[in-house]
Amino acid sequence: MSKIDDFPHDENPDEEWDETEDHEDEEDDDDERRYGDDCPICGQFNSPPADETCTHICAWVWDGETETLGEGRILRAALDRLESFVEFGQSDDAVIDRLNSASASSHDLGVLIGGARGYLPMSEILLDLDGIAAGQGWTSGGMLGGSGRNFYVKTDGSLAALAAECDAISTDAPD
């Protein structure tokens, strides 16, 4: 019979830690995999600087600079067109009416139009969109030190659809 149950358990496995050894965790300051957060939809860890991403990521912000990916790129392009439309039409009553009624028609369009009117950074606009889930973000030292956060699309295609709605407002000049 085995005497395994009587085998003395090691009560303190860290006891033999050798302080003179080189510990690996001092070397990973440049490990880009640390810069990321978990996708709230599928749970995968996403690190855009290390090109490690799931299909839901649409943007990431790093020290205020927003990079867009996938559908996020389509939305950013639509937002750029919307900003120009808002700027050129700011004293045009027909444009103002169109923007006001579009803002009132859906939360996310309201966020985009409000963002375009206020020249808000893309990261602030993304945070307010219902169709987007923000990651928990990260802060770290080392060569890429700073804080960042990833943004994820809750439903495939929803950002592209929102971009199309946004373009419908801004592409044709009102009569």
**DSSP label at residue 23:** P
Candidates 47, 56, 68, 132; binder of Zn ion (CB under 5 A) is 56
The stretch among 47-55, 77-85, 110-118, 143-151 that binds Zn ion (CB under 5 A) is: 47-55
Residues 39, 61: Cα–Cα separation, whole Å:
15
Tell me whether residue 115 or residue 148 sits nearer to Zn ion (CB atom).
148
Least distance from Zn ion to the Cβ atom of residue 54, Å = 3
Candidates 41, 50, 144, 161; binder of Zn ion (CB under 5 A) is 41
Candidates 35, 37, 39, 115; binder of Zn ion (CB under 5 A) is 39
**DSSP states of 44-109:** -EEBGGGTB--TTEEEEEETTEEEE-THHHHHHHHHHHHHHHHHHTTT-HHHHHHHHHHHHH-HHH
Candidates 33, 42, 124, 137; binder of Zn ion (CB under 5 A) is 42
Least distance from Zn ion to the Cβ atom of residue 156, Å = 11
Residues 123, 162: Cα–Cα separation, whole Å:
16
Which residues would be at the binding site for Zn ion (CB under 5 A)? Answer: 39, 41-42, 54, 56
